[in-house]
A = this chain, B = another copy of it.
Amino acid sequence: MSDFGVFFGRADQLLDTSFAGEPDIRAIDPAAASVSAFDLGLLRGDGVFEATTIVDDVPLAWHLHVRRLLQSAAALDLPTPNVRALDLFVRAAIRRMSPIARAHVKLVITRGVDATLSAVDVPTSPTVFAIIDPGFAPKKPEIEVATLERELLRDSAQRAPWLLLGAKTLSYATNMAARREYERRGAQNGVYVTRDGFVLEGPQSSIVLREGARVVTPHPRIGILHGTTQVELFAWASLNGLEVAYEDVEVERLHAADQVWMMGASFVQSVTAIDGRAIAHDRAATDAINAFMQTERAAIDAWTRAHVPG
């Protein structure tokens, strides 16, 4: 239990873009209750989060996560996070538990307690906290996946922004149900597909294809999270002479690809079969990518800072 860390921050610092000081951080006993039963993060899944891997006290690709967090907060009409203060907050949490050889960190921002419940004597401003979990299990390098109908169309995200399709919210009940479904089918991950036959993403992962010298991922405009590990994989590909592209990807291309990867938390998995049908895969290449992701952080960070779209 003492291996876990739970740290609360203050919304009036972390979600105030004019705040210029050192943000307060408050460590909570991980075994203690720390959130109100009235918190809208709990009652409505109304909030956003980011999670990444910490290696040697460094939260990997943190700038990509913060960038996405800003987009998620905007999609939910939450106050704009203070990037500098959030950065200091997360690094302070890590420092409290240093040295961390390897762990998982999650940053959560909820809308806080329902402001209409003014009779409740608890803050109605957003709730901000970080969890550091040193116990996460290593993922399998090779997986089979199942396709799962997401019942949207290629242009749904553009037509209905209130569906929050590109935002990383706390409302993950369907992602968890999809996970149970692919496990029931004997797979280790799932790939959501649109009704009109396009690839989306996994319930908790991004997907990337290699087709010859091209490395391709579904364009985020189709209504998926812009994967941080996907961007890191693009860095690897680009630094290794491959062409990278965001485009709408027809489901059939998964079966014809030279390699399909699923990924998250700076780790890439090689897909060996889709819906029980074997596909081309190259374990050695995948192992090499994961090694590169670990050892070439400076090169990856430089590339991703230079190439991530606004």
- Interface residues in chain A, defined as those with a beta carbon under 8 Å from any beta carbon in chain B: 1, 3-4, 6, 28, 30-47, 49, 75-77, 106, 108, 110-111, 116-122, 129, 131, 133, 135, 137, 148-153, 156, 159-164, 167, 169-178, 180-181, 195
Contacts and interface: CB of A to CB of B under 8 A. Distances in A.
Contacts of A152: 151-152
Contacts of A148: 160, 162
A195 B37 contact: no
Contacts of A195: 153, 156
A181 B153 contact: no
B34 A4 contact: no
Contact of A151 (B77, B117, B133, B153): B153
A162 B133 contact: no
Nearest to A114: B133
B173 A173 contact: no
B31 A33 contact: no
Given A44-B175, A161-B177, 12 more contacts: A28-B37, A33-B33, A34-B36, A44-B172, A75-B177, A77-B177, A117-B135, A149-B160, A150-B163, A162-B181, A164-B174, A167-B173
Contacts of A164: 173-174, 177
B119 A135 contact: yes
B37 A170 contact: no
Contact of A172 (B149, B153, B156, B171): B171
A75 B45 CA distance: 18
Contacts of A40: 176
Which 5 residue pairs across A and B have the least CB separation, nearest first? A45-B45, A171-B171, A171-B173, A151-B156, A45-B171
A37 B131 contact: yes
A10 to B, nearest CB: 15
A42 B44 contact: no
Contacts of A39: 35, 42
Nearest to A179: B162
Contacts of A120: 1, 4, 30-31
10 contacts: A30-B38, A30-B121, A33-B33, A39-B42, A46-B176, A76-B177, A111-B176, A118-B135, A148-B162, A162-B181
